[in-house]
Amino acid sequence: MKIYFLGTGTSQGIPVIGSDHPVCLSPNFKDKRLRTSILIKQNNTALAIDCGPDFRQQMLQANCQKLDAILFTHEHADHTAGLDDIRPFNFKQGPMPIYVEPRVLSNLQNRFDYVFETENRYPGAPAVQTHLIHENETFEINTIKIEPIRVLHGTLPIFGFKIDNFAYLTDVKFVSDAEQQKLQNLDVLVINALRTTPHQTHFNLDEALQFIKQIKPKKAYITHISHLLGFHDEVQASLPKHVFLAYDNLEINI
Protein backbone atom coordinates (compact mmCIF):
# COMPACT_ATOMS: atom_id res chain seq x y z
CA MET A 1 0.00 0.00 0.00
CA LYS A 2 1.21 3.49 -0.88
CA ILE A 3 0.03 6.57 1.00
CA TYR A 4 0.45 9.92 -0.67
CA PHE A 5 -0.21 13.04 1.43
CA LEU A 6 -2.17 15.33 -0.88
CA GLY A 7 -2.53 18.00 1.78
CA THR A 8 -1.55 18.38 5.43
CA GLY A 9 -2.87 21.84 6.33
CA THR A 10 -5.79 22.93 8.46
CA SER A 11 -8.85 24.64 7.00
CA GLN A 12 -7.14 27.85 5.85
CA GLY A 13 -4.06 26.11 4.45
CA ILE A 14 -0.51 27.48 4.80
CA PRO A 15 0.29 30.19 3.88
CA VAL A 16 -2.87 31.85 5.14
CA ILE A 17 -4.12 34.56 2.76
CA GLY A 18 -2.69 37.95 3.74
CA SER A 19 -0.70 36.58 6.69
CA ASP A 20 2.75 37.86 7.63
CA HIS A 21 3.26 35.10 10.23
CA PRO A 22 6.83 33.76 9.85
CA VAL A 23 5.60 30.23 9.08
CA CYS A 24 3.39 31.62 6.31
CA LEU A 25 6.44 33.42 4.87
CA SER A 26 8.75 30.38 5.19
CA PRO A 27 10.53 29.40 1.95
CA ASN A 28 10.67 25.73 3.07
CA PHE A 29 8.37 23.63 0.84
CA LYS A 30 7.46 21.58 3.93
CA ASP A 31 5.85 24.71 5.41
CA LYS A 32 3.39 25.00 2.50
CA ARG A 33 0.29 22.99 3.21
CA LEU A 34 -2.85 22.43 1.14
CA ARG A 35 -6.02 21.30 2.87
CA THR A 36 -5.88 17.84 4.47
CA SER A 37 -6.37 14.81 2.23
CA ILE A 38 -4.58 11.58 1.27
CA LEU A 39 -4.43 9.26 -1.70
CA ILE A 40 -4.21 5.51 -0.99
CA LYS A 41 -3.00 3.12 -3.65
CA GLN A 42 -3.19 -0.65 -3.31
CA ASN A 43 -3.46 -3.38 -5.99
CA ASN A 44 -4.22 -0.92 -8.77
CA THR A 45 -7.00 0.76 -6.76
CA ALA A 46 -6.69 4.45 -5.88
CA LEU A 47 -8.80 6.01 -3.15
CA ALA A 48 -8.90 9.60 -1.93
CA ILE A 49 -9.95 10.46 1.59
CA ASP A 50 -11.79 13.78 1.45
CA CYS A 51 -12.12 16.20 -1.40
CA GLY A 52 -11.29 19.69 -0.13
CA PRO A 53 -10.96 23.00 -1.97
CA ASP A 54 -7.46 22.05 -3.24
CA PHE A 55 -8.60 18.79 -4.86
CA ARG A 56 -7.85 19.85 -8.44
CA GLN A 57 -4.33 21.01 -7.63
CA GLN A 58 -3.74 17.89 -5.54
CA MET A 59 -4.81 15.50 -8.30
CA LEU A 60 -2.51 17.33 -10.71
CA GLN A 61 0.44 17.26 -8.29
CA ALA A 62 -0.06 13.56 -7.60
CA ASN A 63 -0.45 12.89 -11.35
CA CYS A 64 -3.57 10.90 -10.50
CA GLN A 65 -4.82 9.34 -13.76
CA LYS A 66 -7.57 7.22 -12.25
CA LEU A 67 -9.50 7.52 -9.00
CA ASP A 68 -11.69 4.62 -7.88
CA ALA A 69 -13.54 6.33 -5.03
CA ILE A 70 -13.64 9.21 -2.58
CA LEU A 71 -14.26 8.54 1.12
CA PHE A 72 -15.50 11.39 3.28
CA THR A 73 -14.53 11.84 6.92
CA HIS A 74 -17.10 14.61 7.46
CA GLU A 75 -18.93 17.46 5.81
CA HIS A 76 -16.82 20.52 6.66
CA ALA A 77 -15.81 22.66 3.68
CA ASP A 78 -12.08 21.96 4.00
CA HIS A 79 -12.94 18.28 3.37
CA THR A 80 -15.68 18.61 0.73
CA ALA A 81 -15.44 21.89 -1.19
CA GLY A 82 -13.60 20.37 -4.17
CA LEU A 83 -16.36 18.00 -5.21
CA ASP A 84 -17.10 19.96 -8.39
CA ASP A 85 -13.63 19.07 -9.66
CA ILE A 86 -14.35 15.35 -10.05
CA ARG A 87 -15.61 16.10 -13.58
CA PRO A 88 -12.41 15.13 -15.43
CA PHE A 89 -12.69 11.69 -13.75
CA ASN A 90 -16.39 11.53 -14.71
CA PHE A 91 -15.52 12.10 -18.37
CA LYS A 92 -12.89 9.31 -18.27
CA GLN A 93 -14.50 6.84 -15.87
CA GLY A 94 -18.20 7.68 -15.31
CA PRO A 95 -19.88 8.63 -12.02
CA MET A 96 -17.44 8.82 -9.08
CA PRO A 97 -18.21 6.36 -6.27
CA ILE A 98 -18.40 8.25 -2.98
CA TYR A 99 -18.53 6.68 0.49
CA VAL A 100 -20.35 8.78 3.08
CA GLU A 101 -22.51 8.43 6.14
CA PRO A 102 -26.14 9.57 5.82
CA ARG A 103 -25.65 12.93 7.60
CA VAL A 104 -22.72 13.83 5.38
CA LEU A 105 -24.65 12.80 2.30
CA SER A 106 -27.56 15.13 3.10
CA ASN A 107 -25.06 17.93 3.71
CA LEU A 108 -23.45 17.29 0.30
CA GLN A 109 -26.91 17.24 -1.28
CA ASN A 110 -27.48 20.75 0.10
CA ARG A 111 -24.06 22.12 -0.81
CA PHE A 112 -23.95 20.52 -4.26
CA ASP A 113 -27.63 20.20 -5.21
CA TYR A 114 -26.80 20.10 -8.94
CA VAL A 115 -24.55 17.04 -8.45
CA PHE A 116 -27.47 15.05 -7.06
CA GLU A 117 -30.14 16.47 -9.43
CA THR A 118 -31.87 13.61 -11.27
CA GLU A 119 -34.02 15.59 -13.72
CA ASN A 120 -32.82 18.23 -16.18
CA ARG A 121 -29.21 17.76 -15.18
CA TYR A 122 -26.83 20.38 -16.52
CA PRO A 123 -24.77 18.70 -19.25
CA GLY A 124 -21.35 17.82 -17.85
CA ALA A 125 -22.40 18.35 -14.22
CA PRO A 126 -20.35 16.29 -11.74
CA ALA A 127 -21.77 12.81 -11.22
CA VAL A 128 -21.47 10.54 -8.18
CA GLN A 129 -22.52 7.03 -7.27
CA THR A 130 -23.37 7.07 -3.56
CA HIS A 131 -22.46 4.33 -1.08
CA LEU A 132 -23.65 4.79 2.49
CA ILE A 133 -21.32 3.77 5.30
CA HIS A 134 -22.14 3.11 8.94
CA GLU A 135 -20.44 2.77 12.29
CA ASN A 136 -19.05 -0.73 12.99
CA GLU A 137 -19.62 -1.84 9.38
CA THR A 138 -16.56 -2.76 7.36
CA PHE A 139 -16.92 -2.19 3.62
CA GLU A 140 -14.93 -3.14 0.55
CA ILE A 141 -13.79 -1.21 -2.49
CA ASN A 142 -12.39 -3.60 -5.10
CA THR A 143 -9.97 -5.70 -3.03
CA ILE A 144 -9.52 -3.15 -0.23
CA LYS A 145 -11.23 -3.76 3.12
CA ILE A 146 -11.99 -0.55 5.01
CA GLU A 147 -13.05 -0.25 8.62
CA PRO A 148 -14.66 3.05 9.64
CA ILE A 149 -13.45 4.37 13.01
CA ARG A 150 -15.86 6.60 14.90
CA VAL A 151 -14.22 9.68 16.45
CA LEU A 152 -15.49 13.01 17.76
CA HIS A 153 -14.59 16.34 16.14
CA GLY A 154 -15.66 18.49 19.08
CA THR A 155 -19.22 17.20 19.46
CA LEU A 156 -19.59 16.10 15.82
CA PRO A 157 -19.28 12.33 15.21
CA ILE A 158 -17.07 11.82 12.16
CA PHE A 159 -15.16 8.93 10.59
CA GLY A 160 -11.56 7.91 10.34
CA PHE A 161 -10.61 4.85 8.28
CA LYS A 162 -8.48 1.77 8.88
CA ILE A 163 -7.05 -0.40 6.10
CA ASP A 164 -4.94 -3.39 7.17
CA ASN A 165 -2.41 -1.98 9.65
CA PHE A 166 -2.84 1.61 8.55
CA ALA A 167 -5.27 4.11 10.08
CA TYR A 168 -6.07 7.65 9.03
CA LEU A 169 -7.75 9.92 11.58
CA THR A 170 -8.15 13.63 11.06
CA ASP A 171 -10.08 16.38 12.87
CA VAL A 172 -10.11 14.29 16.04
CA LYS A 173 -10.72 15.62 19.55
CA PHE A 174 -11.85 12.39 21.24
CA VAL A 175 -11.75 8.64 20.54
CA SER A 176 -13.67 6.22 22.76
CA ASP A 177 -11.95 3.20 24.32
CA ALA A 178 -14.00 0.85 22.11
CA GLU A 179 -12.78 2.58 18.95
CA GLN A 180 -9.22 2.73 20.29
CA GLN A 181 -9.37 -1.07 20.61
CA LYS A 182 -9.70 -1.23 16.81
CA LEU A 183 -6.41 0.64 16.45
CA GLN A 184 -4.10 -1.89 18.07
CA ASN A 185 -0.93 -3.14 16.31
CA LEU A 186 -0.85 -0.44 13.65
CA ASP A 187 2.20 -0.05 11.43
CA VAL A 188 1.23 3.52 10.63
CA LEU A 189 -1.21 5.90 12.30
CA VAL A 190 -2.00 9.29 10.78
CA ILE A 191 -3.44 11.67 13.36
CA ASN A 192 -4.17 15.39 13.48
CA ALA A 193 -2.42 18.03 15.58
CA LEU A 194 -3.47 21.62 14.99
CA ARG A 195 -1.11 23.75 17.08
CA THR A 196 0.51 23.85 20.52
CA THR A 197 -2.33 25.60 22.38
CA PRO A 198 -5.60 23.73 23.03
CA HIS A 199 -8.51 23.90 20.59
CA GLN A 200 -12.17 22.99 21.07
CA THR A 201 -12.53 20.57 18.18
CA HIS A 202 -9.01 19.40 17.23
CA PHE A 203 -6.16 17.72 19.12
CA ASN A 204 -3.27 20.02 19.85
CA LEU A 205 0.26 18.59 19.63
CA ASP A 206 0.33 17.34 23.26
CA GLU A 207 -3.01 15.57 22.86
CA ALA A 208 -1.89 13.95 19.60
CA LEU A 209 1.36 12.75 21.20
CA GLN A 210 -0.57 11.39 24.19
CA PHE A 211 -2.91 9.56 21.81
CA ILE A 212 0.06 8.09 19.92
CA LYS A 213 1.46 6.86 23.25
CA GLN A 214 -1.82 5.11 24.02
CA ILE A 215 -2.26 3.53 20.57
CA LYS A 216 1.42 2.58 20.14
CA PRO A 217 1.69 2.44 16.34
CA LYS A 218 5.12 1.59 14.91
CA LYS A 219 5.13 5.00 13.23
CA ALA A 220 2.84 8.02 13.43
CA TYR A 221 2.41 10.91 11.01
CA ILE A 222 0.81 14.20 12.02
CA THR A 223 -1.51 16.12 9.71
CA HIS A 224 -4.16 18.93 9.65
CA ILE A 225 -1.54 21.42 10.76
CA SER A 226 -1.96 25.15 11.40
CA HIS A 227 0.80 27.71 10.83
CA LEU A 228 0.54 28.24 14.61
CA LEU A 229 2.21 24.84 15.20
CA GLY A 230 5.50 26.37 14.03
CA PHE A 231 8.16 25.66 11.41
CA HIS A 232 8.15 22.10 10.10
CA ASP A 233 11.84 21.44 10.76
CA GLU A 234 11.77 22.85 14.31
CA VAL A 235 8.66 20.92 15.31
CA GLN A 236 10.02 17.73 13.71
CA ALA A 237 13.23 18.02 15.73
CA SER A 238 11.17 18.09 18.96
CA LEU A 239 9.22 14.88 18.26
CA PRO A 240 9.85 11.30 19.42
CA LYS A 241 11.84 9.17 16.92
CA HIS A 242 8.83 7.31 15.52
CA VAL A 243 6.62 10.41 15.10
CA PHE A 244 6.80 12.52 11.96
CA LEU A 245 5.15 15.70 10.80
CA ALA A 246 3.63 14.85 7.45
CA TYR A 247 4.10 17.35 4.63
CA ASP A 248 2.46 17.79 1.25
CA ASN A 249 3.52 15.29 -1.44
CA LEU A 250 5.16 12.98 1.11
CA GLU A 251 4.75 9.37 -0.02
CA ILE A 252 5.07 6.39 2.31
CA ASN A 253 4.99 2.65 1.63
CA ILE A 254 3.34 0.31 4.08
**Which residues contact Zn ion by CB under 5 A?**
78, 171
Query: Measured from the CB of residue 65, what is the shortest distance to Zn ion in angstroms?
Result: 27
Tell me the torsion sign for CA atoms 19, 25, 28, 29: positive
* Maximum alpha-carbon separation in the chain: 56
Q: Which residues pair with 222 in a beta bridge?
A: 191, 245
- Sheet bearing 243-245, strands edge to edge: 139-141, 144-153, 156-163, 166-168, 188-192, 219-223, 243-245
Query: Measured from the CB of residue 155, what is the shortest distance to Zn ion in angstroms?
Result: 15
Which residue lies nearer to Zn ion by CB, 71 or 144? 71
**Preceding omega of 22 cis (within 30 degrees of 0):** no
Query: Measured from the CB of residue 36, what is the shortest distance to Zn ion in angstroms?
Result: 6
Query: Measured from the CB of residue 43, what is the shortest distance to Zn ion in angstroms?
Result: 29
Residue 67 DSSP SS3: coil
* φ, ψ of residue 236 in degrees (nearest 5): -55, -40
Query: Measured from the CB of residue 153, what is the shortest distance to Zn ion in angstroms?
Result: 8
Which residue lies nearer to Zn ion by CB, 86 or 158? 158
Which residue lies nearer to Zn ion by CB, 5 or 68? 5
Query: Measured from the CB of residue 44, what is the shortest distance to Zn ion in angstroms?
Result: 29
Which residue lies nearer to Zn ion by CB, 78 or 101? 78
- Who's near 71: CB < 8 A, 6+ residues apart? 47, 48, 49, 50, 98, 99, 100, 133, 146, 159, 161
Q: DSSP readout, 10-39?
A: -TT-BSPTT---HHHH---GGG-BPBSEEE
Which residue lies nearer to Zn ion by CB, 32 or 153? 153
Which residue lies nearer to Zn ion by CB, 14 or 144? 14
Tell me the torsion sign for CA atoms 181, 244, 34, 225: positive
Which residue lies nearer to Zn ion by CB, 38 or 144? 38
Query: Measured from the CB of residue 114, what is the shortest distance to Zn ion in angstroms?
Result: 24
Q: For residue 190, count other CB atoms closer than 10 A to its CB.
A: 28
